Amino acid sequence: MPDIDIIKQMPYSLEAEQALLGAIIIDPALLTEAVTLRADDFYIEHHKLIYNALKDLFSLNKNIDIVTLINYINNSPKDSDFDNARYIKTLCELGAACTNITDYIEIIKDKALLRSLIDASRNISDKAFNDGGDAKRVVEYAEQQIYDLAGDNINNGFVKIDEIIVDNYKEFQRIMQNPDQVEGVKTGYSELDNYFVSLGAGDLVIVGARPGVGKTTFCMNIAANIGKAYKDGDVAIFSLEMSKESLVNRMLSAEANVDNYTIRRASFSTPEWEAITMACSTLSNTRIYIDDTPSTTTTDMKAKLRRLDNPKIVIIDYLQLIECDKYSDNKVLQVAEITRSLKLIAKEMKIPIILCSQLSRPNKNVKEKRPMLSDLRDSGAIEQDADIVMLLYRDDYYDNSGNADQDPTKQQEIECIIGKNRHGATGTVKFAWHGQYFKYVAIEEGHDEPAGH
C-alpha cells in the first residue's frame, strides 16, 4: 500500500473515505446507504479492499464487526503485510464522529468522477497525439469517452411510479397543447394461478423467451395486476434494459388499451385521453417502484430491497444483464452465481422473485420451435435454482422469419408453457397477444376492446 501521507497528485478525500468506512464498520446497516459506491470510487487501495470485504460479508449474510472484518481481509489473497487490525480500529475511531454518511458518499463519488475525467482527458490527449491527425476520429473518441463516463455514473435508485407518471402526463399535455387472502401473490391471470395457487415466499420464478417474443411485457402486465390487487406491499422492478419512462408508457398502454404509438406521439382522441387519464390515476395508486440502474449486481439489489417498506414481489428484467464480480472468464459460473444469489434473497426476504431470461435461438433444422427447459441460456443452474419456469412461445414469431408453418389462427396467440412447477402440475396457458397495447389477455378471460370502441 502506498504511503497515505504523500498521495496528493489525484483528487480524493482521505477524511471522507476513512470516516465512511469506519461508520459502516460500526453500523453495518449503513452499507445499504452506500451501495451506489463502487470499490474504485475509493482512491486508497486498502480502502478498496476493506470496502469489498464489507460488501462480501454483507452478501454472505455474515456478521460484520471488527473481528470478522479483520479475519476476512487477512484471509484475502489480495492482502499484504499491512497492519489491518490497527488501521481498522483507527477507521472506527474516525467513523464514530460520522453523523451523516450521505455527505461523505457524495464527496467520494465526486472525487472519483474528477479522477475519471482526468483519466479520460489523458486518453483523449494521447489519441490526439497518436491518431495521425484525423480530428474527426479523435472527436468521436472523445465524445464516446465522456458518454461512457456519464453512463457509468448513472445510478438513480428507485423512483416511485407516481413521480414518473406525473412527468409523463405533463409531457402528454405539453405535446397536445404544443383478490384473495391466500398466502403469496397471485399473478392476476386466473388460468395461470390455477397451476400455482400463488407465487409463494422464497420462490424464484423464471420467465424465459427468445428476444422479441414479449417477456418484458408479460412481466409488466403481472406487475400491474399485482400492484392493483395488493395495496399492502411494494412491487419492486429492476429494469436493466429499458428506461423507467418507456416501461411506464407501456404499462399505461396496457392499462388504457391505447396504442403505444399514440402514447409516444401524445396524439389522443377524446376517449383515448380519458382512458389515459384514468390509467395514470389507477397506476399512481399502486406501490410499484422501478429502478432502471443499468449496471446492477445482486448485492446492490438486496441492499435496495431492504430499504423498501414491505416488498411483496420482485421482478428483474433480465438475467443476462445482471453484473457479477466473480468468475469473469466463465459465463456459466457467473449465471449460476447470480441465480443462486437471487434464490437466497427470495428465501431470506420471504418474497417471490420473477426473473426474465433469454432463451437460446432454436435450431433452424428442427421443425418444432416450442422452447424447452434445455433452451435456458448459459447455465443449467437456472432450471436447478428455479421453483417455477414459464417459457413463452409465439408461433408468428417464427412465421415471420420463415421458420414455421403459417397458421393465421395463431397470429395473435402466445403460449405460456409451464415447464417446471415445484408446487404442482405443468401445462400450457394460452394468451391473446395485443401487441399494440403491450398486453396479454388470457384467452379464457376474453378480450378487451380498444379505448373509444
Q: What is the CATH number of the domain that holds 200?
A: 3.40.50.300
In a domain, 307, yes or no: yes
Q: In the structure, how many helices (H) and strands (E) does the chain have?
A: 16, 10
Residue 2 phi, psi (nearest 5)? -70, 160
In one-letter notation, the amino acid at residue 250 is: R
Query: pLDDT confidence of 132, banded at 50, 70, 90?
Result: low
In a domain, 116, yes or no: no
Grid cell, residue 312, equals 411483496
Report the pLDDT value the prediction gives residue 398, as an integer from 0 to 100.
65
Half-sphere exposure in the Cβ direction for 283 (13 Å, CA): 32
* Alpha helices (H) in 285-330, listed in sequence order: 298-306
Q: What percent of the chain has pLDDT over 70?
A: 86
Report cis status (omega within 30 of 0) of the bond before 318: yes
Asked whether residue 191 falls in the same domain as residue 56, the answer is no
- On the question of pLDDT at 2 being above 60, the answer is no
Are 99 and 207 in the same domain?
no
Distant-in-sequence, close-in-space partners of 166: CB < 8 Å, separation ≥ 6? none
Residue range 168-184: mean pLDDT, rounded: 74
For 108-122, 262-276, 409-423, which range has the lowest pLDDT when averaged over its residues?
A: 409-423
- pLDDT above 90 (res 253): yes
Mean pLDDT of 60-73: 89
Element (DSSP H or E) covering residue 355 = strand 353-358
Closest residue by Cα to residue 184 from 203, 196, 195, 200:
200
Q: Quick one: 168 and 19 in the same domain?
A: no
What integer is the mean pLDDT of 4-18? Answer: 77
Length of the chain (residues): 453
Residue 8 lies in a domain: yes
Kindly report the number of other CB atoms within 10 A of residue 170's CB atom.
10
Q: Verify that 237 and 338 share a domain, yes or no.
A: yes
Q: What is the pLDDT of residues 281-336, one digit of tens each?
A: 999 999 999 999 888 888 888 888 888 888 999 999 989 899 887 777 788 888 88
Distance, CA of 411 to CA of 394 (rounded, Å) = 8
Distance CA 51, CA 64 (A): 12
DSSP track, 276-329: HHHHHHHHHTS-EEEE--SS-BHHHHHHHHHTSS-EEEEEEE-GGGSB-SS-TT
Q: Assess whether 387 and 293 both reside in one domain.
A: yes
Q: How far is CA 280 from CA 166, 220, 249, 274, 356, in A?
A: 8, 15, 10, 10, 26
Report how far apart, in Å, the C-alpha atoms of 337 and of each of 197, 233, 334 are: 29, 28, 5
What are the pLDDT digits (tens) for 359-385?
A: 877 666 677 778 888 888 666 788 888
Same domain membership, residue 224 and residue 339: yes
Task: Name the residue with higher pLDDT: 145 or 258.
Answer: 258
Q: DSSP secondary structure string, 167-225?
A: HHHHHHHHHHH-----SSB--S-HHHHHHHSSBPTT-EEEEEE-TTSSHHHHHHHHHHH
Residue 147 is assigned to a structural domain of this protein: no
pLDDT of residue 436: 86
C-alpha cell recorded at residue 72: 476476512
Q: How far apart are the C-alpha atoms of 163 and 132, rounded to whole Å?
A: 50
Going 335 to 52 to 202 to 232, the CA torsion angle's sign is negative
The pLDDT of residue 137: 74
**Shared-domain flag, residues 322 and 431:** yes
Secondary structure class of 62 (helix, strand, coil) = coil
> Considering the domain boundaries, does residue 438 fall inside one?
yes
Give residue 85's domain range.
4-106
Verify that 85 and 218 share a domain, yes or no: no
| pLDDT number for residue 48 | 93
| Number of domains into which the chain is organized | 2
> Is 382 part of a structural domain of the chain?
yes
Assess if residue 130 is contained within a domain. no
Confidence of residue 399 (pLDDT cuts 50, 70, 90): low
Backbone angles phi, psi at 189, to 5 degrees: -110, 105
The long-range contacts involving 398-407, CB below 8 angstroms and separated by at least 24 positions, are 398/362, 398/369, 403/362, 403/364, 403/369, 404/367, 404/369
The set of residues, in sequence order, having a beta carbon less than 8 Å from that of 374 and lying 6+ positions away, is none
Q: Are 91 and 213 found together in one domain?
A: no
- pLDDT confidence of residue 404: 42
Report the distance separating Cα 430 and Cα 191, nearest Å: 9
Task: Confirm whether 70 is domain-assigned.
Answer: yes
Query: Rg of the chain over CA atoms, in angstroms?
Result: 25
* CA gap 256, 298 in Å, rounded: 34
Residues in a beta bridge with 353 = 204, 314
Identify whether residues 71 and 189 lie together within a single domain. Answer: no
